Amino acid sequence: MNEADEREIRRTLASYTGLWVRHEMDAWGELFTEDSDFITHRGIWWTSRQENVAGHKDVPGSVLDQKENYSQEVVSIQGVTPEVALVHTAWDWPGHRLPGAETPEDRRGLITLVLVRQPTGAWLIRAAHNTRKNGLHDFAATDG
């Protein structure tokens, strides 16, 4: 993985986060391949860009109002081949309140992404798996 590729991937993921926070889901969806897979933190598996975008558009207004508190940072970028990258990000959403919940909660998690270089040189997301950290496990445990 050369520095230019890493910069482009970081730029793509910065766009991903900004578009998600602003809930610009059609533009966010353009960062994914048409045949992309997305597994949500709840275990829902969408198998196309269209399903992914539609699923992410279906959000209660009270949750949309909280998106400004969401942040995400790239933790690692690894080249698998010159055209494929494995990326991990960590996200944080403090004060998240589900509709009807009495108290907010601080949410955190990890996303594993597979990005593929397009003929144009752009990197698009082919697969993403979002895992919510529930506070019961520190990701460093050795119990398998």
If one counts the domains in the chain, the total is 1
- The answer to whether residue 142 sits within a structural domain is no
Q: What is the pLDDT of residue 139?
A: 47
pLDDT one-digit tens code per residue, 63-118: 888 889 999 999 999 999 999 999 999 999 998 888 888 888 899 999 999 999 99
- CATH number, domain of 37, equals 3.10.450.50
Closest CA to 60 of 29, 32, 96, 27: 96
Beta strands across the sheet bearing 32-39: 45-46, 32-39, 123-133, 105-117, 84-96, 71-81
Asked whether the predicted pLDDT for residue 134 surpasses 90, the reply is: no
Q: What is the pLDDT of residue 141?
A: 46
Question: Residue 114 is part of which domain span?
Answer: 3-133
- The answer to whether residue 141 sits within a structural domain is no
pLDDT one-digit tens code per residue, 40-54: 988 999 999 999 999
> For a pLDDT cut of 90, what percent of the chain falls above it?
72
The C-alpha angle with vertex 79 and arms to 71 and 111, in degrees rounded to 5, equals 30
Asked whether the predicted pLDDT for residue 11 surpasses 50, the reply is: yes
- The answer to whether residue 63 sits within a structural domain is yes
- The answer to whether residue 138 sits within a structural domain is no
List CB contacts of 99: < 8 A, sequence separation 6 or more: 60, 62, 63
Under 8 Å between Cβ of 17 and 71: yes
Place of tokens 């270089």: 117
pTM score of the predicted model: 0.88
Q: What is the pLDDT of residue 143?
A: 45
Q: What is the pLDDT of residue 135?
A: 58
> For a pLDDT cut of 70, what percent of the chain falls above it?
93
Measured distance between the N- and C-terminal CA atoms of the chain, rounded to whole angstroms: 30
